[in-house]
Structure 1
Amino acid sequence: MDRPHFIGIGGAGMSGIAKILAQRGAKVAGSDARESGTADALRALGAAVHIGHDAANLAADATSVVVSSAIRADNPELVRAAELGIPVVHRSDALASLMTGLRSIAVAGTHGKTTTTSMLAVALTELALDPSYAIGGDLAGPGTNARHGGGDIFVAEADESDRSFQKYDPEVAIVLNVELDHHANYASMDEIYDSFETFVGKVVPGGTLVITADQPGAVELTSRVRDLSTLKVVTYGDAPAADVRVHKITPRGLSSEVTVVLGGKYLTFTVSVPGSHYAHNAVAALAAGVALGLPAHNLASALGKYTGVKRRLQLKGEEAGVQVIDSYAHHPTEMTADLAAMRGAASEARLLVVFQPHLFSRTQELGTEMGQALALADASVVLDIYPAREDPIPGITSSLIVDAAKAAGADVTAVHDQAEIPDVIAGMAKPGDLVLTMGAGDVTDLGPAILARLAN
């Protein structure tokens, strides 16, 4: 991995690995579809970043080609790698190699991975432990998704979508929740459980599984792995029997005060982002740090330094008395959690949502639930499906979500041209309103345009 070439180097997961390798002294190169701040950040670390995919981008002396599951077999750089006999390495294998020899924490779950991984990265840094980390989003403070640290701890977001999290051998594994998602790769909950069981089974002997005691899928997983003799299981959550029990969560505007019972003692700390689900993410991070042997009181205080991740209820700005906030939520559970969090943080405000569905397969399976989630908003605008890596599925459009939302009593409008959104929102919004751009696609780009239109 001393001269790696990344196909899709600007992606959240790929860029993190590339940054760490560059910081470790590797000669990093790669390509991406378009220019971005991530590409500029990689160039600042010495990486050669090409825009557009072309066989000529791949240097003949590259020692490996790193790909994610999103890269298609006919990508010209991948084809060229085969011609040159350059080894192809999956992103997960590259990340696993970076964690070798370090005390690793792998954060898994259908939702909340990025936030929880980020909370740990910030807290461990605050405690002067100089961790390495690879996250699926940019931290609000450092502004990066990855770092090579000098300490012996590596915190990584572990992606279940393509089963790649099965490549890791963590000392501590966190499972935040277990739900059916990624329908192109999983046909049933049994397949999901099997995949998570394999992940948990890779925890090193004597290591720890930190898992919620509240979510049904996680409870089922716990019952399946409790007999692993080499594994210590630590549960957390609201459940009375949880090892780390959430005693109380008190909203404080855009933050929360959290009290837990740990080892028979009460411990109170601040979480600087709103919503119960973010508070529970922080409790998972606390339990994982304690499993590594860190003092609970010091860790709790350090978790209060976390200020957020880009795209996780990130305030983009305010114009004409209207705040515009960006959310990465794209699964119904995430959507419901973020909408509930904003309701709790600003109960008097009207909540307007611009939602962009992500993936045809997810919309096909969960479109009804997405529409029902939008009923929590005062009014919503639904865009066309963002395809990402998928080809269209006949008959599957965002109208599935719109129809379900209307059936749930929601005020919802379909808009097919994203360029119209700033004018549409400007016509809807009033001083004091909150506008939430929501989804995993390029809906995030609309925030600045909405703010500019509101200013006029």
Structure 2
Amino acid sequence: MAPGLPTAMDRPHFIGIGGAGMSGIAKILAQRGAKVAGSDAKDSPTAEALRALGATVHIGHAAEHLADDATCVVVSSAIRADNPELARAAELGIPVVHRSDALARLMDGLRPIAVAGTHGKTTTTSMLAVSLAELGLTPSYAIGGDLDAPGSNAQHGEGEIFVAEADESDRSFHKYAPEVAIVLNVELDHHANYGSMEDIYDSFRTFADRIVPGGTLVISADHEGARELTRRLDGAVRTVTYGESQDADVRILSITPHGLKSEVTVVLDGAELTFAVSVPGSHYAHNAVAALAAGVALGVPAAELAPALAAYTGVKRRLQLKGEAAGVQVVDSYAHHPTEMTADLEAMRAGTEGRVLVVFQPHLFSRTQELGKEMGEALALADESVVLDIYPAREDPIPGVTSELIIASARAAGAEVQPVHDKAGVPEAVAGMAKPGDLVLTMGAGDVTDLGPRILERLSK
């Protein structure tokens, strides 16, 4: 049985309650019986889903939104120090808790699986949550994206397993003590917080060291950054490797695409096992094998878990089909790092016979400054691309850093790219490019996702 509610979190207040990570914790606390309240910059379906669970959600940030009887204030790294609700918490002496600490407390008394890596965390966490639920194990889970509806990024389950996406961006994954941890890959990203690969390796090493005694690290045998991390661990933790490499403990023998699905054959404990993956691309097949290895490490029989993985059909913004109009499919992708962009573009190429067109919105000035050249090279995999201005998110502009860095790199790599500075002009630009049989990919971690329905509307005219 899952544990009850941490006493100090029986009346939590969330600043930024509508965010992917924050809303998940708020949902679980509400389902455990907490009197949840919070605020967000704007209303959203996620906020409405929390209200349906009994939460009080204020729109906008103001000191009076924080109730005097709140037992804690939950924040993420995105909350600025001058937030009025944060200032009010200091006045009232209400403890401030980082979301990673809140999530860690929710895992107390359970058997956590923590999924880490530069790319693929949301998908792999979701695969585990869906497949374990399919087997009737009723896990709790907290994911960085919605499965099929607003608010479906988290669930309080009655089972003993808790599956959590473990975020390395602000080192918050150091707070968890998993029984099983997954490291999908290790690359340099989040340049505002990490200055070098040495810094990244040290951070992932700290995460691996947090695995409980007798626990297991499931880690890629193919990704060079993951292999280097394994070498640095030097046997300090029980490790199970997976991938196509000859020395992988769970070895992938084949990945056979079938349109927007695939079939995977692995060797696990000396026996071959074939199962279906209901999302396209070899990187998603690798995610499924990581999920399989983690479930087996926790004691779930492979012969039961493998077919259950096919129940996972996707997460919002992870190659999500938004619709079709005039013979053109529109798919939404959260990819914002060159490795993710390349993987999703290769998956779309394998899954469609027509041209692949991209609407790309760079995410963060710091990421564009460091990886703009590689982003442009990734766009060369598309037939044509539209590039928007940089989505700043939490960052202030950096002088000289614009989307032009990406556009110049893409053109140097032979790509056909056009800049569009006003999002309102994108549907018309795409309509001028697209032909029946083409696939349009809206790509990026910002509000480019809003353009899918508008593109479909314009194409249908």
Pairwise same-fold verdict (TM > 0.5): yes
1:309 aligns with 315
The Cα shift of 1:284 comes to: 0.1
1:289 aligns with 295
Report the CA distance shift for 1:443/1:208 in structure 2 as closer, same or farther (over 3 A): same
2:444 aligns with 439
The Cα shift of 1:35 comes to: 1.1
Q: Does 1:183 align with 2:177?
A: no
Aligned partner of 1:32: which letter? D
Task: State the alpha-carbon separation in 2 of the partners of residues 367 and 269 from structure 1.
Answer: 37
2:177 aligns with 169
State the secondary structure of the residue aligned to 2:251.
Answer: strand
1:98 aligns with 106
| Match among 46, 49, 56 for residue 41 of structure 1 | 49
1:428 aligns with 433
Aligned partner of 1:289: which letter? G
Percent identity over paired residues: 79
| Match among 378, 386, 407 for residue 373 of structure 1 | 378
Task: State the alpha-carbon separation in 2 of the partners of residues 142 and 411 from structure 1.
Answer: 36
The Cα shift of 1:428 comes to: 1.1
Aligned partner of 2:433: which letter? M
Task: State the alpha-carbon separation in 2 of the partners of residues 276 and 215 from structure 1.
Answer: 13
| Match among 407, 419, 426 for residue 424 of structure 2 | 419
Task: State the alpha-carbon separation in 2 of the partners of residues 295 and 60 from structure 1.
Answer: 49
The Cα shift of 1:225 comes to: 1.0
Gaps of 5+ in 2: 1-8
8 Å CA contact retained: 1:123, 1:305 = yes
2:262 aligns with 256
8 Å CA contact retained: 1:176, 1:284 = yes
Report the CA distance shift for 1:39/1:142 in structure 2 as closer, same or farther (over 3 A): closer
State the secondary structure of the residue aligned to 1:304.
Answer: helix
The Cα shift of 1:165 comes to: 0.1
Instruction: Calculate the TM-score normalised by the size of structure 2.
Output: 0.98
Task: State the alpha-carbon separation in 1 of the partners of residues 43 and 434 from structure 2.
Answer: 32
1:132-189 CA distance string (max 9 Å, x none): 0000001137960000000000000000000000000000000000000000000000
8 Å CA contact retained: 1:140, 1:307 = no
1:360 aligns with 365
Aligned partner of 2:262: which letter? S
Task: State the alpha-carbon separation in 2 of the partners of residues 142 and 240 from structure 1.
Answer: 41
Q: Does 1:405 align with 2:405?
A: no
1:46-66 CA distance string (max 9 Å, x none): 100011111111111111000
1:52 aligns with 60
8 Å CA contact retained: 2:45, 2:150 = no
Task: State the alpha-carbon separation in 2 of the partners of residues 86 and 389 from structure 1.
Answer: 25
Q: How many residues align?
A: 453
Task: State the alpha-carbon separation in 2 of the partners of residues 262 and 141 from structure 1.
Answer: 34
8 Å CA contact retained: 1:378, 1:411 = yes
Provide the alpha-carbon RMSD of the alignment. Answer: 0.8
Report the CA distance shift for 1:15/1:371 in structure 2 as closer, same or farther (over 3 A): same
| Match among 219, 238, 245 for residue 251 of structure 2 | 245
2:279 aligns with 273
8 Å CA contact retained: 2:23, 2:151 = no
2:217 aligns with 209
Aligned partner of 2:351: which letter? A
1:327-352 CA distance string (max 9 Å, x none): 00000000000000000111x21111
Task: State the alpha-carbon separation in 1 of the partners of residues 150 and 419 from structure 2.
Answer: 37
Instruction: Calculate the TM-score normalised by the size of structure 1.
Output: 0.99
The Cα shift of 1:227 comes to: 2.8
The Cα shift of 1:226 comes to: 2.8
8 Å CA contact retained: 1:250, 1:258 = yes
1:394 aligns with 399
Report the CA distance shift for 1:142/1:120 in structure 2 as closer, same or farther (over 3 A): farther
